[in-house]
Amino acid sequence: MVNFSLNLRMGLTPFILLPIFAIAQQGGGPSPISLDADSSSFDRQSNDVIFNGLRITQGDFTIEADEAKASGLDFEKSEWFFQGNVRIAIDSAIIESSTAELTFEGHALLVVKLRGNPAVFQDFSAVREETIQGGASLLEFDSVERTLRMTDGAWLSEGSNEFRGCDLIYDIDEEKITSGSSDCGEPILITVLPPTADEEVPTPGTATSP
């Protein structure tokens, strides 16, 4: 089971903290989870834990938001809802959205659903020395496949190439763009943007000056 590091400046009630410390003592399993919040409260009617100024980190994944609500804190099986300035960092990729839904099972992050108008992301490619960016109304991050799926008005731009469609998939580790389902009936539109006036276009057979 996962080690759990809890740092709440205003703290939670003791009966909420006890199961968390039991998890921390057993160790092993997935990467440790670190949770930090400005304040927290417990809704006895819904059994939800409510946070303000929450930040959760596990491995190279970090999510922060103005507000968050959780169905439980043991991470064995819990659902989380974030809203307000939601920002996610996955390695070098940054995602921003209005809301986010997270599912944890077995103390491991499974799926993240992000919604916005649109929800957007950007990832700097050190190999290509350029930024890959995109967005859609719905983004879904699969932590196992390490992919970001964009549906409903999806678009991606990579250098001079721009992709648009109803379903696009970006592989974060491979920095690869592929198409998803074609059930929507919309073809993928690929646009190669012309160079700007400031960019030099070398004449075939000639070399540009260093």
Measured between alpha carbons, how far is 165 from 152 in angstroms, rounded to an integer?
Answer: 8
Among candidate residues 131, 148, 101, 138, the one with its CA nearest the CA of residue 116: 138
What's the pLDDT at 26? 40
8, 118, 166, 181 from 134: Cα distances, Å: 34, 10, 13, 18
DSSP string, 11-35: ---HHHHHHHHHHHHH--SS--EEE
Q: Give me the pLDDT at residue 183, please.
A: 62
User: What's the pLDDT at 205?
Assistant: 53
User: CA 110, 57, 69, 86 torsion: positive or negative?
Assistant: negative
- State phi, psi for 27 to the nearest 5 degrees: 65, 180
Q: Which residue has the tokens 């992301």?
A: 121
Per-residue pLDDT of the chain (210 residues; tens, 9 = 90+): 233 344 333 344 333 332 333 333 344 468 899 999 999 998 888 889 999 999 999 999 999 999 999 988 778 889 999 999 999 999 889 999 999 999 999 888 988 999 999 999 999 877 777 889 999 999 999 998 999 999 988 999 887 888 888 889 999 988 888 876 656 666 667 677 676 666 554 554 544 444
1 and 28 Cβ atoms separated by less than 8 Å? yes
Q: Which domains are assigned to the chain?
A: 4-192 (2.60.450.10)
User: Strand pairing partners for 173?
Assistant: none
